[in-house]
Chain A
Amino acid sequence: MISVKNLHKTFNNLAGPVEVLKGIDIEIDQGEKVVVIGPSGSGKSTFLRCLNLLETPTSGEIWFDGQQINVPGVDIDKVRSHMGMVFQHFNLFPHLTVRENITLAPTLLKLQTKEEANANAERLLTRIGLLDKIESYPSQISGGQKQRIAIVRALAMNPKVMLFDEPTSALDPEMVGEVLEVMKELAEEGMTMVVVTHEMGFAREVGTRVVFVDEGVIKEENTPAEFFDHPQNPRLQDFLSKVL
């Protein structure tokens, strides 16, 4: 479903060029839940943001659904409408109600009528138990509620894959659980997911594959059990000993 070939990304900062990704190759199949972990600055978020071209790769290929998407002439808006993304800082639209946050994109892109989008929003909100917040503004709800609604906003587009960029890192500890719970349900329904996170418990329980990114390359990837119980790479062993 997603195929990444020799992905490089260099940022040109004031201090000079910084190579963040130094050749990433990965294949992600339909229904997989790939969890990406790694130390800060390792490039894992940049990797995720390259998948829907929020960052433009310096070189390499990104394929989605049999089509290379980082070449000129690709309708990137269309591609992105099939890839949901959830951000660390939620990025709900503060000037719109929860209902408008969820229905804006499907109606504006004429994928759903207003009635369909509304019904869809109500159904999704009911599922996460937040139907009573439908007319609230983002400033009136908690961080955990915001992130669950951000997930629902992405789901309202009926995406083929969901990308999560540290979805629980900005949350109070007591709110992490409710967000992970929604993600877990999503995984059980068969959604293809790529999750950048520091939640090792989630990686072990929900992931079908765990990927360790460090210094801009994939240092190790394996099933959760092998990954956590028998790490091979010394850098990963060191990392796990600090976070587990």
Chain B
Amino acid sequence: MWDYLSQHIYDDFILKDRYMYLVKGLGNTLLITVGALLIGVLLGVLIALVRIAYNNGVKSPVMRVLNAFCGLYLTVIRGTPMVVQLMIMYFAIWKSGRPVPVAIVSFGINSGAYVAEVIRSGIQSVDRGQTEAGRSLGLSAKDTMIRIILPQAFKNVAPAIFNEFIALLKETSVAGYVGIQDLTKGGDIIRSQTYDAFPPLIAVALIYLVMVIGLTSILGVIERRMAKSDLR
């Protein structure tokens, strides 16, 4: 039994350096996740600000167009599957693009829609009096938002944002659809070479699990640090 198992593990990972499929795959998975994360947060904050400004009565023609565009974006992105968006982006819109950058942009655009709603709820959770206090001191609307509202908003929604990061990390497992060798695809390639499914796929699952546990514990550290101002 043990000999049988170790033989499989040897064939799946050691022989012909097959573990490198997982290592390289992990690299792509992380690259796509981090890149998409940056785009997603940036996009999310911008969209949240547009929607909040519009709801607070800034209704110039430009804002009307922007707000309508943001509404459309949220509806389309949240209403269609990620993998379909990825394929449309790679096979129909950005045909000449290299797969990884296309995936980063595509996952970023997708993530932005979810982050936007989280950030918006975070901003709206901050008491109106905070804005009034900032503005009454002579701070501009922009300074008040950046120095007073957003730090409190981020703190309130940190768990929800992290959940979005974790979801994004796992969601990148569909990158294989556009020919990217990510972690999942790496495990799948090993399976197709050795006709042995269990060890490589379990290894892939374990790596995702460890990363998610790592992210969760990082969230714990961040939350404790941000709770500094809550100590009584």
**Measuring CB to CB, which residues of chain A are less than 8 angstroms from any residue of chain B?**
52, 54, 77-78, 80-85, 87, 89, 91-96, 104-105, 108-109, 137-140, 150, 153-154, 157
Contact = CB atoms under 8 A, between A and B. Distances in A.
B132 A91 contact: yes
Given A87-B133, A108-B143, A95 B155 contact: yes
Contacts of B137: 80-81, 104-105, 153-154, 157
Nearest to B151: A95
Nearest to B228: A137
B140 A77 contact: yes
B135 A80 contact: yes
B232 A52 contact: no
Given A81-B138, A139-B231, A140-B231, 20 more contacts: A77-B139, A78-B138, A81-B137, A84-B136, A85-B133, A87-B129, A89-B129, A91-B127, A91-B132, A91-B133, A93-B130, A95-B152, A105-B138, A108-B139, A109-B138, A109-B139, A137-B230, A139-B230, A150-B133, A154-B137
B232 A80 contact: no
Contact of B129 (A91, A96, A105): A91
B159 to A, nearest CB: 17
- B contact residues, range: 20 to 34
A109 B147 CA distance: 12
Nearest to B226: A95
A125 B132 CA distance: 23
Contacts of B138: 77-78, 80-82, 105, 109, 157
B139 A105 contact: yes
27 contacts: A54-B136, A77-B135, A77-B138, A78-B138, A83-B136, A89-B127, A89-B129, A91-B129, A91-B132, A91-B133, A93-B130, A93-B133, A94-B152, A104-B139, A108-B139, A108-B147, A137-B228, A137-B229, A137-B230, A137-B231, A139-B229, A139-B232, A140-B231, A150-B133, A153-B137, A154-B136, A157-B137
B148 interface: yes
Contacts of A83: 136
A154 B140 CA distance: 16
Contact of B148 (A87, A93, A109): A93
A87 B132 contact: yes
Nearest to A137: B229
Interface in B148-163: 148, 151-152, 155
A38 B31 CA distance: 63
Most chain A CB neighbours (cut-off 10 Å) among B155, B228, B229:
B229
Nearest to A78: B138
A95 B229 contact: yes
A81 B127 CA distance: 21
Nearest to A87: B129
A169 B122 CA distance: 28
A177 to B, nearest CB: 24
Nearest to B139: A105
A87 B148 CA distance: 17
A69 to B, nearest CB: 13
Nearest to B230: A139
Contacts of B129: 87, 89, 91
Contacts of A109: 138-139
Interface centre among A105, A109, A153 (most CB of B within 10 A): A105
Nearest to A96: B229
B130 A91 contact: yes
Contacts of A94: 152, 229
A153 B130 CA distance: 13
A112 B231 CA distance: 30
A52 B151 CA distance: 26
B148 A85 contact: no
B231 A54 contact: no
Contacts of A54: 132, 135-136
